[in-house]
């Protein structure tokens, strides 16, 4: 036996194992045919094949009287594969995007449907960390839900303010990249469209704390004027001037980051309260955070309705 071959260790070191799976980088995993067969149709078929036939479980080697099957997967991939089979002993832990990709690949190859679902959900978890790559993987692996989550996460930095690197999307076909551009543009339009306030009704914004509790703070400046953003036609300059500054700031933020969290209540308060008397400042301190939260919610609702064309 070559000295480079090593044992995988617990929990794949049981003396009662009746099959050894050897990884491409020479790590031996001791396993049980019956459990592998129950979990994976591929293993079940492999163990049924007559000795010597392509794909059969017999190899050129035995180790301690146990047949060794050489597989093309590396150690990390086999640990994930066997983790699916031995969930009680070796639960699958996918700590990186590369691990999640390995998990999808072994789940597909060995027909582990539940494993594929688990791996897909983990891919989505990495969307914030590497959105372009998750979108690309979803596209290439024919996983529409993963592609959608990745595309949505790219809105943190759409291509209107910075193109992705070739490392992240270089392997994508041009139609996939074009569709991502189109999606991002539609999301920017949808987010900015929320600011027309066509959806807004006064009773949507009722303050719940402070001296303004129970009031609808935008009622006295006129909803119709607010919807038209006819700042010059409004009275109460101590209210409308800061609101105009807030709307300008929100609009600028959504153009480069079309997401609800681009509406930063703390920054809006800073913009709106500068130079105001204490009474007017208290009004804005009570109003702006609630209004920002409402706007952010509407932006997210609008983004959820933007379609992503992922036809292959």
**pLDDT digits over 74-106, tens only?**
999 999 999 999 988 878 889 999 999 999 999
Angle between helix 237-256 and helix 265-273 axes, rounded to 10 deg: 140
Report the candidate in 111, 8, 25 with the shortest Cα–Cα distance to residue 71.
25
Question: pTM score, two decimals?
Answer: 0.77
Q: Per-residue pLDDT tens for 26-62?
A: 999 999 999 999 999 999 999 887 655 544 444 568 8
Burial of 110 (0-12, 13-18, 19+ CB in 10 A): buried
Tell me if 159 sits within 8 A of 181, measured CB to CB. Answer: yes
Residues in the chain with pLDDT values less than 50: 1, 54-58, 214, 219-227, 231, 233-238
Contacts of 234 (CB under 8 A, 6+ apart): 221, 222, 225, 226, 240
């Amino acid at each position: 036996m070559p000295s480079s071959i090593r044992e995988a260790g617990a929990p794949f070191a049981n003396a009662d194992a009746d099959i050894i799976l050897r990884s491409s980088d020479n790590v031996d995993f001791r396993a049980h045919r019956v459990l592998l067969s129950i979990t994976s149709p591929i293993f079940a078929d492999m163990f049924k094949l007559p000795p010597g036939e392509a794909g059969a479980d017999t190899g050129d080697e035995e180790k301690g009287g146990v047949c060794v099957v050489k597989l093309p997967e590396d150690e990390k991939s086999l640990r994930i594969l066997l983790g699916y089979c031995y969930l009680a002993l070796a639960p699958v832990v996918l700590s990186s995007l590369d691990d999640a990709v390995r998990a999808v690949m072994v789940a597909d190859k060995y027909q582990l449907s539940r494993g594929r679902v688990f791996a897909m959900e983990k891919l989505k978890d990495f969307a914030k960390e590497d959105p372009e790559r998750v979108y690309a993987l979803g596209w290439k692996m024919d996983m529409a839900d993963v592609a959608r989550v990745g595309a949505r996460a790219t809105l943190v930095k759409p291509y209107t303010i910075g193109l992705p690197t070739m490392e992240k999307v270089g392997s994508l076909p041009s139609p996939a990249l074009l569709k991502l551009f189109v999606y991002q543009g539609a999301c920017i339009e949808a987010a900015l469209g929320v600011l027309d306030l066509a959806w807004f009704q006064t009773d949507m914004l009722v303050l719940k704390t402070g001296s303004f509790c129970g009031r609808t703070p935008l009622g006295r400046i006129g909803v119709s004027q607010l919807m038209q953003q006819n700042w010059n036609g409004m009275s109460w300059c101590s209210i409308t001037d800061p609101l105009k500054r807030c709307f300008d700031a929100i609009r600028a933020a959504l153009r480069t980051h079309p997401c609800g969290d681009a509406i930063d209540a703390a920054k809006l308060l800073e913009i709106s309260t500068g130079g105001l008397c204490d009474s007017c400042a208290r009004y804005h301190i009570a109003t702006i955070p609630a209004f920002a939260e409402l706007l952010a919610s509407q932006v997210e609702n609008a983004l959820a309705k933007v379609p992503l064309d992922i036809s292959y």
